[in-house]
Amino acid sequence: MALVELKQKLHPFELIMGLHGLLRWPAMTRKEMRILKRVFLSFPKNQTINIFEYGMGFSTLYFAKFLQNMGRSFHIDSLDNNRFWYEKVTAMIRNEKLSDSVTLHLREFAPFWEKSGWNWQAPQMHGTFAPSMPEENEYIVLPQTLHKHYNVIFVDARFRRRCLETALQAVDHRGIVILHDAQKKQYQSSTELYRHSRFIDSGKYFPFARKQYQIWLGSPTNTLVEEIAREFA
């Protein structure tokens, strides 16, 4: 293995992600896991919780098992653009016999950083990097295409600013939309479309880490967004 590759693998974030993978934990901080559980459990016990997730991973399995263990009725539609993760999560969901409660969707396309001209130092969400292929546009509008009123929509992957626009159309009026990595300025303009809107400092991946994460909660009419933000302040 080249020295650069070895250094990348030994980077604390990569190590922590490796640990999360071994434990089959989502790619999020512990506080973020608690916030998502709090949102899910806020819905009445006798109600089926309909969830849409942009960006599948261990989160899909982790929260499905959590809701099953809590005795809740739920259904998750989870979407990805990457065949490797789609197939990995499909196998995990099948092995855990959760296929009746979780439907996985694939709209396959390359991520922006694989497009020519991408520059990590000067991220550009417009022009060449804006969605243009049919699969990219289908990905963004999928929750609307499925014609459900979701109680929770979790935005954690590609084209987040655009996905937040779709989410507002596809979420139930009492439903809650969650944005991961909400500290990134390029996602934030779409949060202004929501009447109830709160950013929450959601911690770090390890104690001496420099990077502080934020999660955002929004809803058309549910004031629980403000309540949860106060609880987790």
Residue with smallest beta-carbon separation from ligand SAM: 57
Give the CA angle between residues 99, 103, 108 to the nearest 5°. 130
Token representation of residue 75: 């259904």
CB of 111 to ligand SAM, least distance (A): 8
CB of 30 to ligand SAM, least distance (A): 13
Token representation of residue 79: 């979407």
* Selected binder of ligand SAM within 29, 50, 59, 219 (CB under 6 A): 59
Give the DSSP H/E element, type plus range, for residue 67: helix 58-69
> What residues between 72 and 91 interact with ligand SAM by CB under 6 A?
80, 82, 85
Q: Which stretch binds ligand SAM (CB under 6 A): 51-59, 145-153, 205-213, 220-228?
A: 51-59
Asked if residues 17 and 159 have their Cβ atoms less than 8 Å apart, the reply is no
Binding mask 150-189 for ligand SAM (x = CB under 6 A): ------xx--------------------------------
CB of 73 to ligand SAM, least distance (A): 22
Q: How far apart are CA 89 and CA 107, in angstroms?
A: 15
- SS3 state of residue 215: strand
Count Cα atoms within 13 angstroms, Cβ side, for 58: 14
Number of residues interacting with ligand SAM: please give it, by CB under 6 A.
14
35: phi then psi, degrees, rounded to nearest 5: -65, -45
Residues making contact with ligand SAM (CB under 6 A): 17, 21, 26-28, 55, 57-59, 80, 82, 85, 156-157
